[in-house]
Amino acid sequence: MISIAKPDEATLKTALNNAELMLETGHDHQHVAQALLYMDERNHLMSNIVSAVENYFLLENEQARSDLLTAFKRFKTFEIESATEIEAELTLDQS
């Protein structure tokens, strides 16, 4: 497996903007833009979970527990909605 350096903020922002443009203009034939945008959102949600877990372990209070559950629920909702969108796209493609 190759090692990938983390892009700086400007590079990541440019890549995400280009990915959105590719989707909007229908130029994402290999689904690279879709995958990048999906993984960026998933990464954001996972980062929230990691932060909530850290706070939960450090603070061990009810608010930290509630924040952790909220972050986890947001992640699960994102995963379910993403899977539903894929199923809808596959159904449309088969029509």
Q: Answer whether 41's CB lies under 8 Å from 78's CB.
A: yes
Q: Answer whether 91's CB lies under 8 Å from 84's CB.
A: no
Q: Is residue 63 part of a domain?
A: yes
Walk along the chain (95 residues) and give the pLDDT tens digit of each residue. 788 888 999 999 999 999 999 999 999 999 999 999 999 999 999 999 999 999 988 888 899 889 999 999 999 999 998 888 766 665 655 55
Q: How many domains are there within the chain?
A: 1
Contacts of 37 (CB under 8 A, 6+ apart): 16, 19, 20, 23
Q: Is residue 6 part of a domain?
A: no
Q: Is residue 4 part of a domain?
A: no
Q: Is residue 44 part of a domain?
A: yes
Look up residue 17 and give its amino acid. N
Q: Is residue 17 part of a domain?
A: yes
Structure confidence at residue 25 (pLDDT)? 96
Q: Is residue 61 part of a domain?
A: yes
Q: Is residue 41 part of a domain?
A: yes
Q: Is residue 33 part of a domain?
A: yes
Kindly report the pTM of this predicted structure: 0.75
Q: Domain range spanning residue 36?
A: 11-94
Q: Answer whether 42's CB lies under 8 Å from 78's CB.
A: yes
* Strands (E) located in 1-95: none
